[in-house]
Amino acid sequence: MSPVRRCSRTACSQPAVFTLTYVYADSTAVLGPLATYAEPHCYDLCAEHAERLTAPRGWEVVRLPTEGVPPSTDDLEALANAVREAARPAPAGKAEPVGQAVEIGRRGHLRVLRSAQPQRDR
C-alpha cells in the first residue's frame, strides 16, 4: 500500500485530493482530481487549499470535474499537453483552413467563429 500523499502547501498536513498543474505558455492553472502518481511539475492540494485557489491577474483557472472521477495518470497531463499544443504558433508556410465562417471574437489563441451567411444572387 502506498503512503498517503500530503498537500504541497507549506505546514499543511491534510491528505491531498486534487492535483494542480500550471500551463505557463497559456497563463492557465489546471486543477483536477488527484493524479495517480506524484509529478515534480505538479502540486497536490487538500480540499481546503484547492477551494481557495486563485491565479495571478490575467491567468485563468480551469477546474476539472472531480465527482465520481477516479484518479488517472493521463487525464490532467493530457489536458495540459492539449493547452500547450494549442498555444504553439503554426509552422511557417502552413496556412489555416479556409471556411465559411466569420471571426467575431478572440482571446489569446482561441477564436469565436460564426457561420457566414450564404451569398444570394438577386
Could you give the CA distance from residue 17 to residue 118 in angstroms, rounded to a whole number?
A: 51
Report whether 62 contacts 28 (CB < 8 A): yes
φ, ψ for residue 19 (rounded to 5)?
Answer: -120, 135
Q: What is the pLDDT of residues 104-116, one digit of tens each?
A: 777 777 777 777 6
Q: Examine the pLDDT at 97 and tell me if it is beyond 60.
A: no
Q: What pLDDT is stored for residue 116 in this prediction?
A: 67
- Domain layout of the chain by residue ranges: 18-97
Q: What is the pLDDT of residues 44-54, one digit of tens each?
A: 999 999 999 99
Confidence band for 39, pLDDT divided at 50, 70 and 90: confident
Sign of CA dihedral 62, 67, 73, 75: negative
